[in-house]
Amino acid sequence: MRIVKNRIWRVAVIIAVAFLVSIDAATGQEISVSPAASWYRDARFGMFIHWGPYSLRGFEASWPLFQGLIPMGEYEALPSQFNPVKFDAEKIVKLALETGMKYIIFTTKHHDGFAMFDTKLSAYSIMNTPYGKDIVKQLVDACHRNGMKIGFYFSLCDWYHPQYRDKTKPFPAGCKPEEVNQATWDQYLEFMKGQLRELCSNYGKIDIIWFDGGWERTAEQWKSAEIDSMIRLLQPEILINNRHLLDDKADFLTPEQFIPTATQMKLWETCMTINSTWAYNPYDHDYKSSRQLIHTLVRAVSGGGNFLLNVGPMPEGEIQRDFEERLGRIGEWLRKNGESIYGTRHGPARLYPGGFATVKGQRLFVHLPDGHDGLLLLHGIKNKIASIAVQGFSQSIAFKQEGLRTVIRIPYEAMDPYNTVVALELDGNLDYDPFVYAQDGGRFILLSSRAEILGSGMSYTLKRILVSYSSEEDALVGWSQTDDMVRWKCAITQSGEYSIVMNYDGGPALLNLSIQNQDVVITAPKTNRLERYRGMPRGTVNLKAGETEVRLHLKSIESSSRFKLRQIQLVPKN
Ligand code: FHN
């Protein structure tokens, strides 16, 4: 009883201190981070592993059942052939370490219900295969030996279990709540809680529970709150993701296969495949290049998120060569540039057009994708810059700082083939001025590349013409939802009437400009070729001097239309 009391006390302490609010350096946003999650926030990069008997067939985990690609009986017979004699947990953990990954998330049970661990609650497990050994235990022990954090992916839905679905019906029938009576469902929940208890009790310290498969029920039906509490009692410092459908209790959000562009108010982690399949698929050669994967890592971390990159081991337990090569390149890049990734916080939104930046104490890291012309124009740094260096390049870098503008020229020989990191040593913690100031004549040019993206549906696309900045093209694209919104911060010095001029392509669309408690409806008729990105007067607004937030959001757009915004101008009329 004392042990439980001790655990309750520790959980209480963690909750009591819970959710240290840290102010984000670049945006001033408050992000809530529990003390237990600080290692996770600093880790930035992890390995996802999807593996089970389905690897024998070289197709996706579980989903071929749903797609009718294999009869349930044939799929459920796969474990009888599963004997991954080349599985080497130490080798996989060492591969993750050499890649620069700080944690591993492993599929203990996917939607197919097959347990890759020694569960006493189901015969459908690794223990009843020719292999017959606990894969999860081997991996956990190797992680503990090597200082690698370990998390368990666990699917709430279980298409195998007779109390999860009505198995008298051909799958996928039988999974709906109304097809399973309450008593049977309660029995399934007891089974599921039992397996979670096994995973949280039998393998020592576990760092993350990565739920998945929640879509077939509600949080109430999953009894997610009860499960969340049970897990935290068993593993007081564990982190739990949001896929048990409890965002408020979740330690992090889990965008999948994309990088969110909007500022998130919680820790988040993008999970992504190297090709397009989570499991081993020898027919899927849709590989992302090492370059793309490094850029994705940089974009995720620059946005304040983590990147969880997936591998699907082959049937005998090895990782395919195509993946090992890419992980090797990423590891090389991180050995040279890791300081700009680990332990950093996201940098100012759009420090430079289309740019990505990370911050750690007095050091600001500006990330330049390969192909950048090396001419860097930064806006808004109030600090005095003590020095500038390029990671891996010994010579100092010339720069000119004039007020809030800093111009840097990176020599070609300093550039990295994938992503160049320019490290600015500041005279203190980053003091960033997000405001847009008037050009000569009092005109404000609110560039897309200076906007902070608040909406959910948009992506930021930059097509840079590497000739000079004045001809650079950038635009905010993908406007489709009424909560798609961007904001700028302006320092209005001259009160008076201003014309609103918009440079865009596409339409028709209807937008709303909110500024100093005024809402101006802006129409965007469909542009013809000559009007593309030309400044179009869209109305007027009276402004007072002072710091001003300008928000533009979509009111409506036809589904067949697209809208690409390059900039909004506020032009004084007098
Ligand atoms: O259906 C699963 C899928 O197989 C995979 O596990 C991903 C990883 O996040 N999650 C679900 C799809 O969202």
Q: Which atom of ligand 1 is nearest to the CA of 153?
A: 6
Quick one: tokens of 503?
A: 């440079």
Buried (b) or exposed (e) across 179-217, using 16+ Cβ within 10 A?
A: ebeeeebebbbebbbebbebbbebbeebbbbbbbbbebb
DSSP string, 247-300: TTT-SBB--BSS---SPPSS-BEEEEESSS-SS--TT---PPPHHHHHHHHHHH
> Rounded to the nearest 5°, which phi and psi values hold at 369?
-65, 155
3-state class (DSSP) for residue 74: helix
DSSP string, 200-231: HHSSS---EEEEE--TTS-HHHHTHHHHHHHH
**pLDDT score recorded for residue 14:** 38
Verify whether ligand 1 is closer than 6 Å to residue 509 (CB atom). Answer: no
Quote the radius of gyration of the chain (alpha carbons, Å): 26
**Pocket of ligand 1, candidates 51, 62, 278: which has the most ligand atoms within 8 Å of its Cβ, to mutate?**
278
Q: Are strands 363-369 and 356-360 parallel, antiparallel or unpaired?
A: antiparallel
Q: Judge contact between 235 and 205, C-beta under 8 A.
A: yes
Confidence of residue 473 (pLDDT cuts 50, 70, 90): low
Overall size of the chain counted in residues:
574
Give the whole-number percent of the chain exceeding pLDDT 90. 75
pLDDT (tens digit per residue) in 228-265: 999 999 999 999 999 999 989 999 999 999 888 766 77
Helix axes 182-201, 224-234, angle to 10 degrees: 20
**pLDDT over 50 (residue 10):** no
**Pocket of ligand 1, candidates 48, 157, 211, 212: which has the most ligand atoms within 8 Å of its Cβ, to mutate?**
212
Q: Which atom of ligand 1 is nearest to the CA of 60?
A: 4
**Which residue has better confidence, 4 or 21?**
21
Q: Judge contact between 524 and 504, C-beta under 8 A.
A: yes
Query: What CA–CA distance (Å, rounded) separates 511 from 522?
Result: 5
Angle ∠(382,384,385) on CA atoms, nearest 5: 115
**pLDDT score recorded for residue 354:** 64
The residue nearest atom 1 of ligand 1, judged by CA position, is 213
Tell me the helices (H) and strands (E) count for the chain, helix number first: 11, 29
Give the whole-number percent of the chain exceeding pLDDT 70. 90
Quick one: tokens of 379?
A: 């806006």
> Rounded to the nearest 5°, which phi and psi values hold at 335?
-65, -30
Tell if the pTM clears 0.85, that is, is over it.
yes
- AA letter at 99: T
What one-character DSSP code corresponds to residue 440?
Answer: G
Q: Judge contact between 302 and 346, C-beta under 8 A.
A: yes
pLDDT (tens digit per residue) in 318-350: 999 999 999 999 999 999 999 999 999 988 876
Quick one: tokens of 71?
A: 């009869």
Distance 510 CA to ligand 1 centre (A): 36
Confidence of residue 458 (pLDDT cuts 50, 70, 90): low
Quick one: tokens of 439?
A: 């050009």
**pLDDT score recorded for residue 145:** 98
Distance 309 CA to ligand 1 centre (A): 13
**Which residue has better confidence, 462 or 44?**
44
**pLDDT over 50 (residue 16):** no
